[in-house]
Amino acid sequence: MELRLQPLRIPSGWQVTHNDGLWEVDPDEERVADEDRLWIFKEDLLQMVHPQSHRLLDVGWYPEGNLAEGRYRLVIYEGDFRGRLLHQFETRARLLLVVELERLMADVRDRKL
């Protein structure tokens, strides 16, 4: 399966600390082969920090590899994973995830979150 990374508009100030592939593919059981599910839809997809705002953003698929019941989870923490959870968003729709991700990155940059 040939995949492309999902394009994102990342505002200034953000640093990508982990990018293991938020792919431009939807969680469709008929289109994604069984052997590809665990490496495409996994818990650790994307992690970014905004040092000026002291924010950590994390994106993953839960439960890992499960297209029937899984969903994307996007979280923002104050500081790191031990900090206060500021925002959580879940969806099965990749494009809704992208919209929310880009909105939140802009809100953090503008110090709204």
| Residue found under tokens 């990749």 | 94
Q: How far apart are CA 36 and CA 45, in angstroms?
A: 14
In contact, 94 and 8? CB cutoff 8 Å: no
Q: What pLDDT is stored for residue 64 in this prediction?
A: 96
Dist. CA 111–CA 94, nearest whole Å: 25
Full-model pTM: 0.94
- What is the percentage of the chain residues whose pLDDT exceeds 90? 95
Mind listing the pLDDT tens digit for each residue in 6-44? 999 999 999 999 999 999 999 999 999 999 999 999 999
Contact 14, 48 (CB under 8 A): yes
Domain parsing of the chain, residue ranges: 15-109
Q: In what order do the strands lie in the sheet with 85-91?
A: 15-19, 46-50, 55-62, 71-78, 85-91
Q: Cβ(32)–Cβ(38) under 8 Å?
A: no
DSSP label at residue 60: E
Q: Is the pLDDT of residue 63 over 90?
A: yes
- If residue 35 lies in a helix (H) or strand (E), which one and from where to where? helix 34-40
Q: How confident is the model at residue 2 (pLDDT cuts 50, 70, 90)?
A: confident
